[in-house]
Amino acid sequence: MTVRVRFAPSPTGYLHIGGARTAMYNQLFAKAMGGKYILRIEDTDTERSERKFETAQIEDLKWLGITHDEGPDVGGEYGPYRQSERLHIYKAWSDKLIEKKHAYPCFCTEAELTAKKEHAEKNNLPPVYDGTCRHITRADSAARIAKGEEAVIRFHVQNKSYDFQDGVRGHVTFPEGMVGDFVIMRANGIPVYNFAVVVDDSSMKITHVIRAEEHLNNTLRQLMLYEAFGEKIPEFSHVSLLIGEDRQKLSKRHGATSVRLYQEMNYLPTALLNYLCLLGWSHPNELDVFDPQTLGTLFNLNRFTKSSAIYDVNKLNFINGQHVRALPIESILIEAEKTIPVNHPFHKMDEGWKLRTITVFKEKMNFFQDLLGLVEILFTTNVSEDAEYKEAIGWETTPKIREYLRGEIEIALVNKKKFVTVEDYNIWSEHVKGELKIKGKPLFMGMRAVLTHQAHGSDLKFIIPLTPLEVLATRIKL
């Protein structure tokens, strides 16, 4: 059996991070099993579906590196892959069900249905369709349709329970009586979601359905339809919901939920996928940081987690930082440099300096754009307002350090140096310790205060050799 899985988004907006996660799980599973991953566009909601969103979602999937083997843009032997282009197929499959007496035209009007519902409520009856049109003969319905009367197609529900084995949830049972005869085709010939999904998954030979838990209840109607068609039921895995820290379903009010926004914020696609992969699945070697696309056969369906996954942007940022740091420094430089304004002095520095700077600061970078803030310490002549800085400047030892360093920097300037070296810096600090007899906090805080005008920051022996001598001279008032 060739594994065939699908991601079936509705093109009603940009790709949601939950959708990206579903798409990734399907693609990784297909890859691990040597199967096929299909993209199907579920655009039967004609009011909300737009072609521009289909295009955008395909672009977003591409940005993430999730590519499909079959789909509306690449074709395939089970097409068309847009539901709006499959209406003739739904009609044929719905006719099949009518033929087998598993479905029937229903002529009840909205007003009649509302009245039935109110009647059921008043009499404590289950709020399900009462089956009126089930009993209309074939000939009578044909005549009514021929006269132009509008009809939906309803599925004739059997009175029995249904169950199935879910890859994540385990054994799931739906007791009988949960649903009444439900609509599968609207009067305008547009199929209802549950019907279209079963027709498509059957005719596209889908073997495994990996989708979000919110679809678990739909599985009941889908099982009924598979049974009526006599089609093989795919293996279902309903992966846990993404929720916010307030345990509510992830929505816009929790922050950015569309992949596009993460792209705009400069997240690395591998990092976003890595984080999403961990929300509902765990790595067999307990790894937290990895590139999902390299999982190969390590990806399987046994490691899905049952509980809802809390979306935590801090963890995502941490993982992004891990992916940024894993890149070669040359690549970090190329990307980070793009985020620095054109007139910034960073751009005037030579390649060697830039690479050394990245080496020093990359440990503090979660994002490429973090570099701008980090290099500030190499160029600014601003003075900190921090109380600790003011205290250090006020110590009686600090003016002595300043005097000494002023002399050293002046000599370096006379010698036409542009930077001092780590060795120079080490000599300075040895001198302050040995000759000026200043040790411990007064030594390192004093040197930092004098040389950077700050109370805190990265190790001086790394940042002082990267600070242009003219900046040090300005700070020390030469």
Catalytic residue among 52, 147, 252, 477: 252
Residue 431 CA to residue 426 CA, distance in Å, equals: 8
Among 28, 42, 153, 182, which residue interacts with ligand GLU (rule: CB under 6 A)?
42
CB of residue 289 to ligand GLU, shortest distance in Å? 29
Q: Are 271 and 320 in contact, with CB atoms under 8 Å apart?
A: yes
Residue 364 a catalytic site member = no
Is 199 among the residues that bind ligand GLU (CB under 6 A)? no
Residue 464 CA to residue 461 CA, distance in Å, equals: 6
How is residue 355 written in tokens? 């690479």
CB of residue 457 to ligand GLU, shortest distance in Å? 48
Residues in contact with ligand GLU, counted by CB under 6 A, come to a total of: 7
Binding to ligand GLU by CB under 6 A, coded x per residue (else -) over 203-222, reads --------x---x-------
Q: Are 443 and 399 in contact, with CB atoms under 8 Å apart?
A: no
Helix (H) or strand (E) holding 174: strand 170-174
How is residue 278 written in tokens? 């961990």
Among 8, 15, 199, 206, which residue interacts with ligand GLU (rule: CB under 6 A)?
8
| DSSP letters spanning 275-318 | HHHHSSB--TT--SS--GGG-GGG--GGGB-SSPEEP-HHHHHH
Among 3, 4, 5, 10, which residue interacts with ligand GLU (rule: CB under 6 A)?
10
Closer residue to ligand GLU, CB minimum distance, 93 or 367: 93
CB of residue 198 to ligand GLU, shortest distance in Å? 9
Residue 335 CA to residue 433 CA, distance in Å, equals: 41
Closer residue to ligand GLU, CB minimum distance, 45 or 470: 45
Please give the sequence-ordered ranges of beta strands (E in DSSP) within 111-151, or none if there are none.
Answer: none
Among 197, 220, 278, 279, which residue interacts with ligand GLU (rule: CB under 6 A)?
197
CB of residue 279 to ligand GLU, shortest distance in Å? 17
Residue 156 CA to residue 107 CA, distance in Å, equals: 15
Return the residues of window 43-102 that contact ligand GLU according to CB under 6 A. Answer: none
CB of residue 208 to ligand GLU, shortest distance in Å? 11
Identify which range of 3-11, 69-77, 158-166, 296-304 contacts ligand GLU by CB under 6 A: 3-11
Strand partners, 36: 4
Q: What is the b/e burial string over 294-305, where b = at least 16 CB atoms within 10 angstroms of the residue's CB?
A: ebeeebebeebe
Closer residue to ligand GLU, CB minimum distance, 23 or 365: 23
Angle at which helix 193-203 crosses helix 87-99, to 10 degrees, equals: 100
Residues with a catalytic annotation lie at 252
**Contact residues: ligand GLU, CB under 6 A:** 8-10, 42, 197, 211, 215
